[in-house]
Amino acid sequence: MKVYALFMVLFLCVDAVAAQAGPEAAEEPLQAAIALQQHSQQHSDDWQVQQQRLLAEYDRLQQQSAELRQRSAELQQQCEAGREQIANARQALVEGGRFRAELQPFLSDSLQLLRQQQAVDLPFDLELRRQRLEDLGRLLTDREVPAAEALQALLTYLQQEVAAGRQVVTALQPVEVAGERRLLQQVRLGRLLLLAQSPDGRESLRYDSLASRWQSLESRWHRPLGQIIAMAQRRRPLELVQLPLGRLVQP
């Protein structure tokens, strides 16, 4: 408004001067007034553009601020959830330690029974099974090992032993008999029976777990043992065969 008022004042002054001095004297002030009006219009247009830019920037900042507030709220919720998880984990550690302590007697008794069982068991895969039992013993006696891990290790060991107890295996292996090392064809029926026979089939033996030694069998067992070996090697169809079981002992 001030610009337009100034323009009107100048126009009136120019008109007054023109009336007194004539057209030539009024032309120069008129040109100055027109230039001032153009400059003012350009300044007004520039201000409008800048104003639109500032409004757009303000809207952008407002939207960004809203997004940041939303993100802050989400992070706050995540922090709260994280604190709750940490508290639950600490409680679980406390309860797990208490359960581990209560479970320890059972683990110790189980380990002792397994060692007793292996001491009187049939002598097969000795090194492998001894190493497995040693590894299990370290886990079961280490109170820093979580209860779930200890129980899983115990279960895995029992599954391996059960699987071995279901196998029928035959192999030509060296056997120490009465202080003499001999090469005999062995056949193991799970954990029930461990038998051996000379390659010519004229000597048969059974392993006595209680005495921890091989015992010779009577000649009447030569043929049934040969049949068992043939069936284990799948050279003969399965059939019922009488076997020298001996004494069955529960450790």
Three-point CA angle 42, 45, 50, nearest 5°? 125
Query: pLDDT grade, residue 225 (50/70/90)?
Result: very high
pLDDT digits (tens, 9 = 90+) for 180-212: 889 999 999 988 899 999 999 999 999 988 888
Output the furthest CA–CA distance in the chain (Å, rounded).
Answer: 159
User: Which pLDDT value is given to residue 140?
Assistant: 92
Residue 176's CB is within 10 A of a number of other CB atoms, namely: 10
User: Which pLDDT value is given to residue 229?
Assistant: 93
User: Which pLDDT value is given to residue 136?
Assistant: 95
User: Which pLDDT value is given to residue 247?
Assistant: 57
User: Crossing angle of helices 2-21/23-120, nearest 10°?
Assistant: 160
pLDDT digits (tens, 9 = 90+) for 15-27: 554 445 455 555 6
Poorest-pLDDT segment among 74-78, 90-94, 98-102: 90-94
| Tokens coding 40 | 């003012």
6-10, 40-44, 58-62, range with greatest mean pLDDT: 58-62
User: Which pLDDT value is given to residue 160?
Assistant: 93
What Å distances lie between residue 219 and 128, 197, 222, 224, 241, CA to CA?
34, 11, 5, 10, 15
Q: Which amino acid is at 151?
A: L
The average confidence (pLDDT) of the chain is 81
User: Which pLDDT value is given to residue 14?
Assistant: 47
Query: Are residues 205 and 217 in contact, defined by beta-carbon separation less than 8 angstroms?
Result: yes
204 Cβ contact partners less than 8 Å away, ≥ 6 residues apart? 195, 196, 197, 198, 216, 217, 219, 221, 222, 225
User: Which pLDDT value is given to residue 242?
Assistant: 87
pLDDT digits (tens, 9 = 90+) for 143-170: 889 888 999 999 999 999 999 888 899 9
Three-point CA angle 17, 18, 22, nearest 5°? 125
Three-point CA angle 109, 112, 115, nearest 5°? 150
pTM passes above 0.75: no
Rounded Cα–Cα distance for residues 68 and 64 (Å): 6
pLDDT > 90 in the chain, percent = 37
User: Which pLDDT value is given to residue 8?
Assistant: 52
Taking Cα atoms as reference points, which of 171, 182, 168 lies closest to residue 241?
Answer: 168
